[in-house]
């Protein structure tokens, strides 16, 4: 939105000036570019997908820079710099931004108006340096974006995916289940007596138990399974392809592994697990609530056990 606003303010005076001077070709180019920028801003303001908006904006800007450098080479080369920077800032892939910018530079230099060798060399070197600097900027920005996305989706204590990641994953699972692409099981796991562990042994001991549990579960799961820590001592497992019987057997096996291997200061630590399969009409909330209710039934029945919610006959 900021780039669009700056572009509108910068290009509008040129468009008006060229219409007044009856330079219709250049005026049409400026007006067309303003229309593209305005459309992209409105699209973005209304919540459109940024990836598509970026391509919608950068491709016409690059084309505009290439064309105007041919039509009016004495001033058109300056617009190539704007196109390079726009590509680097907006396009989601550094390689695409760099290749598009180099293509614009190539068109501007090879097909542009005649100039002295010194002038062309100066322009060429400056443009290529701008592309290289933009590549460095875009590469660092993309790397930082990926790091921020990873931090936003990861639990800092265990390194597992967090609740935000779970919300995205369950939304995708609901979509696939609704379309009949896959069946899913959902299991909610909660450590038994975790508050007592923290109160008796301290939070460092509790954190160590959570990290140990994360590794234990991760080593047990299949490659297609997903494990999330959604808060405190609660973990969620998303199990593609798991029907009720298979989910019950696998969760019972996992419960036994936890009972046999998870300890805190030499004392065994157990877990209660509630599970439920997907059924038609489910939302993320309703599905998770069934697993949560099953997990609490496991707690009330003595802990260290697995309860699987039986699907209704209609499902």
Read off the tokens for 260.
């046999």
**Catalytically annotated residue among 196, 233, 234, 310:** 233
* 204 is annotated as an active-site residue: no
φ, ψ dihedrals at 273, nearest 5°: -130, 130
User: How many alpha carbons fall within 13 Å on the CB side of residue 155?
Assistant: 23
Neighbours of 74 (CB within 10 A): 10
SS3 sequence of the chain: CHHHHHHHHHHHHHHHHHHHCCCHHHHHHHHHHHHHHHHHHHHHHCCCCHHHHHHHHHHHHHHHHHHHHHHCHHHHHHHHHHHHHHHHHHCCCHHHHHHHHHHHHHHHHHHCCCCCHHHHHHHHHHHHHHHHHHHHHHHHHHHHHHHHHHHHHECCCCCCECHHHHHHHHHHHHHHHHCCCCCEEEEEEEECCHHHHHHHHCHHHHHHHHHHHHHHHHHHCCCCCEEEEEECCEEEEEEECCCHHHHHHHHHHHHHHHHHHCEECCEECCEEEEEEECCCCCCHHHHHHHHHHHHHHHHHCCCCCEEEECCCCCC
List active site positions: 233
């Amino acid at each position: 939105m900021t780039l669009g606003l700056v572009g509108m303010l910068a290009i509008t005076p040129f468009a008006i000036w060229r219409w007044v001077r009856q330079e219709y070709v250049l005026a049409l180019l400026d007006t067309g570019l303003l229309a593209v920028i305005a459309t992209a801003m409105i699209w973005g303001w209304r919540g459109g997908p940024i990836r598509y908006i970026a391509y919608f904006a950068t491709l016409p800007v690059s084309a505009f820079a290439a064309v105007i450098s041919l039509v009016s080479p004495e001033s058109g080369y300056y617009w190539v710099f704007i196109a390079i920077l726009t590509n680097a800032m907006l396009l989601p892939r550094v390689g695409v931004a760099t290749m598009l910018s180099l293509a614009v530079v190539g068109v501007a230099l090879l097909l542009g108006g005649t100039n002295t060798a010194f002038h062309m060399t100066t322009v060429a070197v400056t443009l290529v340096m701008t592309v290289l600097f933009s590549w460095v900027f875009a590469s660092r920005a993309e790397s930082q974006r990926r790091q921020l996305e990873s931090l936003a989706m990861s639990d800092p204590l265990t390194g597992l995916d967090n609740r935000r990641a779970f919300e995205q994953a369950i939304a995708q699972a609901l979509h696939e289940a609704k379309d009949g692409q896959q069946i899913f099981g959902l299991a909610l796991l909660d450590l038994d007596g975790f508050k007592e562990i923290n109160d008796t042994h301290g939070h460092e001991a509790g954190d160590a138990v959570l990290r140990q549990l994360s590794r234990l579960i991760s080593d047990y799961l299949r490659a297609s399974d997903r494990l999330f820590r959604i808060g405190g001592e609660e973990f969620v497992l998303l199990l593609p392809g798991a029907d009720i019987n298979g989910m019950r057997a696998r969760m019972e096996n996992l419960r036994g592994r936890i009972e046999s291997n998870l300890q805190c200061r030499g004392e065994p630590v157990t877990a209660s697990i509630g599970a439920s399969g997907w059924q038609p009409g489910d939302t993320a909330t309703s599905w998770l609530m069934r697993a949560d209710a099953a997990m609490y039934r496991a707690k009330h029945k003595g802990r260290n056990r697995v309860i699987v919610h039986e699907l209704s006959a209609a499902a």
